[in-house]
């Protein structure tokens, strides 16, 4: 009898698995999709535990601002898939660009070879980024573009004979990526990489700008940076910062005046300025690049995330002629970096289409409309007990709470409301695709308020 029951149980499992893999119908065992069971057994998701994996939802499609789940629900994406899907999902222009390029060639090495997608993309980036950034180095991801920028700064000072300049200055609350060098310039105490403190290169930090976005920057607001550059400028290679918006550091918006004065201090003390525009670039803050709020140009700029409209991983590090000429004017005469997938033609072709799509439309009006909708839609949160502050800048809406949240507990509540919102720390934030319409944005905001009201 026991053997017969065992055979029946095995047969039922095989039937479920067969039906799942051949008909796209989703059978549930203990109310969990089979694919999610497999995922929990073998996959390790970002910032997650393999012993206690958080809740998962299987995606079977995505279109416009909607993510379609295996159970048929469609969620409004309030995250732009970690801020990169600015044109939404399944965009016909970007789809066509990818299809056209893959029929020609998907990849060639960039050592000794070149191709039109890379040249055209570099040409466009030089044209639209702040003045003076005339050399373009492509890489695989935003974090790697920061590694490239840091290596550029160090190799530049070595090349021009100033071997003492080996330190970087960064802002507290800053985040610049998960790779080793990038982690060393992330917030050393409150950031997500504080566990590696003592193992990373020892960098220098100043307080996050206390002056808010709409305020001017007083002498006291920038005093610690000024003092540090006065005392140790001779050993500092570069200041690296996220212009205007420190995103992963709590969605903190600071004064353009601080950025302007930081540029002046770097010039006075012969320190390079690296602008990490991976999250702030391509219109998110209301300007094409965050540096434009202060009308300054960095010596090096890092770009990524929405560069390809979220379709493929690609990043770029641009620098001035001063930096590139310095590096290439001394032994070994070349920049010592070269990713295998550098300037991947498929990614470059989609990036070209994404930039054309962005720049050939009135993107500024779209961002302004989203900003207006976020201000209107989230304002009621300021009266809620759990809420410390509500702030909006461009296409970024933030509800800061008094206490940190339990993401695993809160995430399903957003899904129940029909939206994809992934809070972190004490921050619930929205960064929707630029194509979101007023009705969708209103629903997204209302769903967010409903969840936050229960905290």
At 356-390, the pLDDT tens digits run: 999 999 999 999 999 999 999 999 999 999 999 99
* 261, 113: one domain: yes
pTM: 0.91
* Same domain? 272 vs 397: no
Residues 195, 330, single domain; the answer is: yes
Per-residue pLDDT at 398:
98
Q: What is the CATH number of the domain that holds 382?
A: 3.90.1150.10
CA distances from 274 to 129, 250, 271, 323, 454 (A): 13, 21, 10, 12, 41
Are residues 326 and 388 located together in one domain of the fold? no
Q: Cβ contacts of residue 12 below 8 Å, gap of 6+?
A: none
39 and 165 co-located in one domain? no
d(C-alpha 139, C-alpha 136), whole Å: 10
- Residue 33: its pLDDT value, please? 54
| SS3 sequence of 310-368 | CCCCCEEEEEEHHHHHHHHCCCCCCCCCCCCCCCCHHHHHHHHHHHHHHHCCCHHHHHH
Q: Are residues 246 and 350 in the same domain?
A: yes
d(CA 436, CA 71): 23
Q: Is residue 85 part of a domain?
A: no
Residue 141 to residue 138: CA distance in whole angstroms: 9
Q: The domain that contains 169 carries what CATH number?
A: 3.40.640.10
Give residue 4's pLDDT: 52
pLDDT for position 182 = 96
Q: List helix spans (H) across 112-255.
A: 116-128, 142-159, 180-184, 223-232
Assigned domain for 87 exists: no
Choice among 305, 311, 341, 429 that is catalytic: 305
Examine the residue annotation and report whether 429 is marked as an active-site residue of this protein. Answer: no
The pLDDT of residue 26 is: 33
Q: Looking at 258, 276, 299, 341, which residue is catalytic?
A: 276
Q: What CA–CA distances, in Å, run from 392 to 222, 250, 429?
A: 24, 13, 9
SS3 label, residue 69: strand
- Catalytic site includes residue 376: no
- Domain membership of residue 82 (yes or no) is no
Is residue 130 assigned to a domain? yes
Number of domains observed in the structure of the chain: 3
Question: Is 267 considered catalytic here?
Answer: no
Concerning whether 341 is annotated as a catalytic residue, the answer is no
Q: Of 66, 156, 175, 434, which one is the catalytic site residue? A: 175
Q: Is residue 437 part of a domain?
A: yes
**Residue 312 phi, psi (nearest 5):** -145, 155
Asked whether residue 420 is assigned to any structural domain, the reply reads yes
Q: Cβ(268)–Cβ(229) under 8 Å? A: yes
Strand 300-303's sheet: what is its strand order?
A: 133-139, 315-320, 300-303, 272-276, 236-241, 167-171, 204-206
- Return d(Cα 207, Cα 51) in angstroms, integer: 36
167: helix, strand or coil: strand
- Asked if residue 19 belongs to a domain, the reply is yes
Element (H, E) at 303: strand 300-303
**Residue 144 shares a structural domain with residue 197:** yes
**Are 137 and 264 in the same domain?**
yes
**pLDDT of amino acid 189:** 87
Domain that holds residue 200: 93-359
Cα four-point dihedral sign 156, 160, 164, 170: negative
Query: What pLDDT tens digit does each residue of the chain (455 aa) get?
Result: 444 544 444 444 444 343 433 333 333 334 445 899 999 999 999 999 999 888 999 999 999 999 999 999 999 999 999 999 999 999 999 999 999 999 999 999 999 999 999 999 999 999 999 999 999 999 999 999 999 999 999 999 999 999 999 999 999 999 999 999 999 999 998 877 888 888 999 999 999 999 999 999 999 999 999 999 999 999 999 999 999 999 998 999 999 999 999 999 999 999 999 999 999 999 999 999 999 999 999 999 999 999 999 999 999 999 999 999 999 999 999 999 999 999 999 999 999 999 999 999 999 999 999 999 999 999 999 999 999 999 999 999 999 999 999 988 999 999 999 999 999 999 999 999 999 999 999 999 999 999 999 99
Domain shared by 310 and 332, yes or no: yes
Domain boundary residue, one of 312, 329, 359: 359
d(CA 423, CA 408): 10
Q: Do 248 and 348 lie in a common domain? A: yes
Identify how many contiguous H helices and E strands the chain contains and give both numbers.
14, 18
Strands 167-171 and 204-206: parallel
Alpha-carbon distance of 86 to 354, in angstroms, equals: 9
- Could you count the other beta carbons within 10 Å of the beta carbon of residue 225? 22
Q: Catalytic: which of 31, 47, 189, 454?
A: 47
251 and 144 in one domain?
A: yes
Task: Tell me, yes or no, whether 86 lies in a domain.
Answer: no
């Amino acid at each position: 009898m026991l053997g017969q029951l065992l055979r029946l149980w095995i047969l039922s499992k095989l039937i479920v698995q067969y039906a799942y893999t051949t008909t796209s119908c989703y059978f549930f065992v203990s109310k969990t999709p089979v694919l999610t069971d497999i995922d929990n057994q073998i996959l390790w998701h970002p910032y997650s535990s393999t012993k206690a994996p958080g809740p998962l939802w299987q995606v079977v499609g995505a279109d416009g601002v909607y993510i379609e789940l295996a159970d048929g629900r469609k969620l409004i994406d309030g995250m732009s898939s970690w801020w990169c899907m600015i044109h939404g999902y399944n965009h016909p222009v970007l789809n066509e660009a990818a299809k056209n390029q893959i029929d020609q060639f998907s990849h060639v090495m960039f050592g000794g070879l070149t191709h039109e997608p890379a040249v055209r993309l570099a040409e466009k980036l030089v044209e639209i980024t702040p003045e003076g950034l005339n050399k373009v180095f492509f890489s695989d991801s935003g974090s790697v573009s920061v590694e490239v920028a840091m290596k550029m700064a160090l190799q530049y000072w070595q090349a021009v004979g100033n071997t003492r300049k080996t330190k970087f200055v960064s802002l507290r609350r800053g985040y610049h990526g998960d790779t080793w060098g990038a982690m060393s310039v992330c917030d050393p105490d409150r950031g997500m990489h504080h566990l590696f403190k003592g193992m990373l290169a020892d960098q220098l930090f100043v307080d996050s700008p206390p002056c808010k976005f709409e305020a001017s920057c007083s002498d006291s607001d920038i005093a610690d940076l000024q003092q540090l550059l006065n005392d140790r400028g001779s050993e500092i290679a570069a200041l690296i910062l996220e212009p205007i918006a420190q995103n992963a550091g709590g969605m903190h918006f600071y004064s353009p005046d601080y950025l302007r004065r930081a540029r002046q201090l770097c010039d006075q003390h012969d320190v390079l300025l690296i602008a990490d525009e991976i999250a702030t670039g391509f219109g998110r803050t209301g300007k094409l690049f965050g540096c434009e709020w202060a009308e300054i140009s960095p010596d090096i700029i890092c770009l990524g995330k929405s560069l390809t409209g979220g379709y493929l991983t690609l990043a770029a590090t641009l620098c001035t002629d001063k930096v590139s000429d310095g590096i290439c004017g001394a032994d070994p005469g070349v920049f010592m970096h070269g990713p295998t997938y550098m300037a991947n033609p498929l990614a470059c072709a989609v990036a070209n289409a994404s930039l054309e799509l962005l720049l050939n439309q009135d993107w500024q009006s779209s961002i302004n409309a989203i900003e207006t909708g976020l201000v209107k839609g989230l304002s009621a949160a300021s009266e809620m007990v759990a809420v410390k502050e509500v702030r909006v800048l461009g296409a970024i809406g933030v509800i800061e709470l008094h206490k940190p949240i339990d993401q695993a507990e809160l995430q399903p509540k957003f899904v129940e409301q029909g939206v994809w919102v992934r809070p972190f720390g004490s921050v619930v934030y929205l960064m929707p695709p630029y194509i979101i319409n007023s009705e969708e944005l209103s629903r997204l905001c209302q769903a967010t308020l409903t969840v936050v009201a229960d905290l």
